Structure 1
Amino acid sequence: MEITDLQAVLLSSPMPAPVELPFHGGKRTVFKRDALFVKATTDNGLVGYGPGAASEEMARLINGDLREILLGRGVGDPAGFVAEARDILGNQALAAIGAVEIALYDLWGRAEGCSVTDFLGGRKQDTVRCYGSAGMYQTAEEYAAEAAAVCEGGYEAYKYRPALGPEEDVRTVQLMREALGPEVGICMDAHAWWRMGDLSYGAETTEGVALAVSDLGVTWLEEPLPVEDRESYAALRAKRIVPIAAGEHEHDGEGFHQLIEGGCVDFAQADVSHHGGFSGIAEILRICEREQVAFAFHNWGTALETVTDALVGACFPRATAAWLEYPEYAHRDPRVMYPYPLSDELVPDAPKPVNGELPLPDGPGLGVKVDERMIDKYPYLPGPWSIFELESPPTKLALSGDHALPWAGDGQVDELPTRSR
């Protein structure tokens, strides 16, 4: 059985109208969410799929260099493909190689009639524990109400993105604790704290907020400092104020070695789409297992990525693979965040959490089916998916899957086409 085609497909799920999200010293506007999946096909028509980071450069790399490397290979040797592709393209192509690798494992599992977990060491968990994730830039009262709504699903923890200024960030956690009761954990994704221009929090302010919420059941404080500042991460973690999480901005295994072995985090974070597919995540999980650091999946893609993360996570004990991020969107519950219907419609048979635990699919390969009708329903819309606008200094930053670049303010973003559902 020979692989005869490889294709990366980009999709866009536009907001019904631009979603404006004010934060301390600025505003973020979300126009759409992009998605990418990889499809590998054999000469007898068997197909395997994998999720990937949604960017034009990723699609070009997969449809170009990686397609050339892959075509003509037999089914059943994802590791051989990964080794050859890394040797030719290097670590800068790690995410793209990982996306193709997942599709090859899916293909192999379907050919053999077994789950990909059989190739990844076997399942150590029957279900994967999820934390409900939403909370994108809103008032303290709205955060608290959303936390309560999300955790009606039985989640043991809720993640949100604080960015209201130090005093309001503390008050938000206080209100959420009142709304959630004493048992549900609170995960603070503080990536905005060092991205607010002149109003960004310094190390002293960050530590002060951490101290103020330290008795309020914070599961972790995520990326509270610039991601490259390992010395400050290690110093903050050493004070044992609240658990520290980071990792989504690392690019390869060496970065995770430094982060984990350097004592920077209590929770390491990564996902299959950005960190090298199954083999990349397994490498990170093995580092965590050896260093006795917990791992919590960062997972902000479609249900295809969620399932794929869950399958590799289930091949490690819960003491290591401790948490899986499960995004909650407004197309399921209007009380939360913004809508992203493509996330579910792309993989309609993907399992959903039950009392905060995600069941694993039992079918061959990834155990789920990709609905290719979504290619026509959600055609790709070029351009940034969101922009940040800062008050001081006045700045616009356009975000796409490829980069974050200063925006000239020529109106193109505001005119991004939208489609109603």
Structure 2
Amino acid sequence: MLSVDTKRPAGPAGRITRVETLALGTAWRDFGYVRLHTDQGLTGVGEITHPYRVAETCALTEAMGRRHLIGADPFDVEEIWLRMYQGDFLRGGDIGGIVVSGVDQALHDLMGKALGVPVYRLTGGATRDRVRVYANGWYTGEREPEVFAAKAKATVAKGYTGLKVDPFGAGLHELDRVELRRSLALVEAVREAVGPDVDLYIEGHARFAMATARRLVHELAPYDIGWFEEPLPWTHIERYAELRALAPFPISGGEHFHNRYEYKPLFATDAVDIVQPDLSMAGGFTELRKIAAQADAHGMTVAPHNSNSPLCTTASVHACLGLTNLTVLETFDGLLEPYVFDAVKGALPIEDGHIALPERPGLGIELADEVFAEHPPTHRFWNMFAEGWEKRNRT
């Protein structure tokens, strides 16, 4: 079970012969990808982006590929997932979790291409005709109410019916009185700008102490928000349920967990109302469906996290189509340079705040090597605990 078995007949995709990684630099962050090749001439792609450590995820992907993927049948997804996790002695964590996630995406891409069907046909089919998405990253720039209001209006004019914003400045644990008033003024300005029919999600980035989070739950109540995301550090997961009991709106989170095992305390403590696994961090298609099923069993819905490239957005759409307890999908696609879409050819476009049913086999995406050559990694780092983090190194 924990080694490649080349004696069994291979499926229609053949066997994996090569594991390749690529990295693309942007003004925000570097995007990482894995591309698997088979002896049947097929290639499958997946995203292995880490906010700061793409070089490390690429290196581990190639090393794990040599150990666990060469000679494997892409259709043996459950066995390959176990082999990479258990066989490589992963003990959770971001880099290994991202590698397993991206490889799993690439395996599903190969299977879809071999069978001539979109990936969502392999992961539960479609329970809806399109996937609703919300915009994030639209508020980069100066933290002034009029600036946020204008940008929120412009984003909604593109067809989005949901926006997420982190209104809080630099800091950890607490907000002083001036910062608290400024943050709430930003939320108020956005709500007034977009009106009552647009969902407004507030990001906490897991950085507040309980007393501050409790104060914010009270202060945010008038703005009819869709959820308050990760208000507490996950080192305090046992206090999430306490905060939920006080909140008149949903509490969400879960992007920092990388498989069903890491999610166990979240479910055991009923920490959130809305679970936010990331397809490129939580174990890929194979694991996301299991996490969503556990969420359903706990009366929770799923709003996948997606702060990655349009490849992950497209792959996440395939995953979301089969989720019966889906709320909405996150996107940063509006933040990105046009060449990013040239690099991941075939990424699904956002139209009127939704992404339509995919039609092409697999994920429908091919990587354009020449674009990667023109835009090498930048190794950027934005520190959300430093003044001006919200500008994301753009000014």
Do these two structures clear the TM 0.5 threshold for a shared fold by scoring above it? yes
Correspondence for 2:31 among 24, 31, 35: 35
- Alignment partner, residue 354 of structure 1: 351
Conserved in 2, the CA contact under 8 Å of 1:203 and 1:225? yes
- Alignment partner, residue 103 of structure 1: 106
Note if 1:300 corresponds to 2:307.
yes
Correspondence for 2:367 among 370, 379, 393: 370
Q: Secondary structure at the match of 1:264?
A: coil
Amino acid of the structure 2 residue aligned with 1:48: G
Q: Equivalents in 2 of 1:67, 1:7: separation in Å? A: 11
Note if 1:171 corresponds to 2:171.
no
TM-score, with length taken from structure 1: 0.80
Conserved in 2, the CA contact under 8 Å of 1:130 and 1:325? yes
Change (3 A) 1:202 1:71: closer
Residue 384 of structure 1, CA deviation: 4.1
- Alignment partner, residue 231 of structure 2: 224
Q: Equivalents in 2 of 1:231, 1:289: separation in Å? A: 20
Conserved in 2, the CA contact under 8 Å of 1:361 and 1:368? no
Comparing both structures, which one devotes a greater share of its residues to helix? 2
Q: Equivalents in 2 of 1:223, 1:205: separation in Å? A: 13
Q: Secondary structure at the match of 1:44?
A: coil
Correspondence for 2:212 among 202, 205, 210: 205
Note if 1:278 corresponds to 2:285.
yes
Q: Equivalents in 2 of 1:363, 1:379: separation in Å? A: 29
Q: What is the 5 A alignment of 1:9-48?
A: 9-13=22-26, 15=27, 32-48=28-44
Residue 354 of structure 1, CA deviation: 2.1
Note if 1:129 corresponds to 2:143.
no
Conserved in 1, the CA contact under 8 Å of 2:270 and 2:298? no
Q: Equivalents in 2 of 1:231, 1:75: separation in Å? A: 39
- Alignment partner, residue 16 of structure 2: 3
Q: Secondary structure at the match of 2:71?
A: coil
Per-residue CA deviations over 1:26-61 (Å, capped at 9, x if unaligned) read: xxxxxx410011101112321111111232221111
Conserved in 2, the CA contact under 8 Å of 1:301 and 1:343? no
Q: Equivalents in 1 of 2:75, 2:209: separation in Å? A: 50
- Alignment partner, residue 85 of structure 2: 86
Percent of aligned pairs sharing the same letter: 28
- Alignment partner, residue 324 of structure 1: 329
Change (3 A) 1:33 1:87: same
Change (3 A) 1:99 1:172: same
Correspondence for 1:52 among 44, 48, 55: 48
Note if 1:155 corresponds to 2:169.
no
Conserved in 2, the CA contact under 8 Å of 1:257 and 1:287? no
Q: Equivalents in 2 of 1:214, 1:8: separation in Å? A: 45
Residue 215 of structure 1, CA deviation: 2.5
Amino acid of the structure 1 residue aligned with 2:20: Q
Comparing both structures, which one devotes a greater share of its residues to strand? 1
Residue 184 of structure 1, CA deviation: 0.5
Amino acid of the structure 2 residue aligned with 1:304: L
Change (3 A) 1:251 1:102: closer
- Alignment partner, residue 185 of structure 1: 199
Change (3 A) 1:328 1:345: same
Pairwise CA RMSD:
2.3
Correspondence for 2:123 among 111, 120, 130: 120
Q: Equivalents in 2 of 1:147, 1:328: separation in Å? A: 15
Note if 1:266 corresponds to 2:279.
no
Amino acid of the structure 1 residue aligned with 2:359: D
Change (3 A) 1:259 1:136: farther
- Alignment partner, residue 21 of structure 1: none
- Alignment partner, residue 5 of structure 2: none
Amino acid of the structure 2 residue aligned with 1:365: G
Q: Equivalents in 2 of 1:95, 1:7: separation in Å? A: 15
Q: Equivalents in 2 of 1:227, 1:96: separation in Å? A: 22
Conserved in 1, the CA contact under 8 Å of 2:100 and 2:284? yes
Q: Equivalents in 2 of 1:328, 1:57: separation in Å? A: 24
Change (3 A) 1:76 1:254: closer
Amino acid of the structure 2 residue aligned with 1:363: R
Amino acid of the structure 2 residue aligned with 1:260: F
Q: Equivalents in 1 of 2:212, 2:384: separation in Å? A: 22
Change (3 A) 1:261 1:124: farther
Residue 242 of structure 1, CA deviation: 2.3
Per-residue CA deviations over 1:196-231 (Å, capped at 9, x if unaligned) read: xxxxx5423322222222132200111111122112
Per-residue CA deviations over 1:350-375 (Å, capped at 9, x if unaligned) read: 22222211113211111233322222
Range with greater deviation from structure 2 (52-61 or 291-300): 52-61
Q: Equivalents in 2 of 1:328, 1:39: separation in Å? A: 21
- Would you say how many aligned residue pairs link Structure 1 and Structure 2? 360
Residue 179 of structure 1, CA deviation: 0.4
Change (3 A) 1:136 1:188: farther
Per-residue CA deviations over 1:250-286 (Å, capped at 9, x if unaligned) read: 2331332321341211111121111111112111111
- Alignment partner, residue 72 of structure 2: 73
Amino acid of the structure 1 residue aligned with 2:161: E
Residue 343 of structure 1, CA deviation: 3.6
Amino acid of the structure 2 residue aligned with 1:213: L
TM-score, with length taken from structure 2: 0.85
Residue 145 of structure 1, CA deviation: 1.5
Change (3 A) 1:390 1:303: closer
Residue 388 of structure 1, CA deviation: 5.0
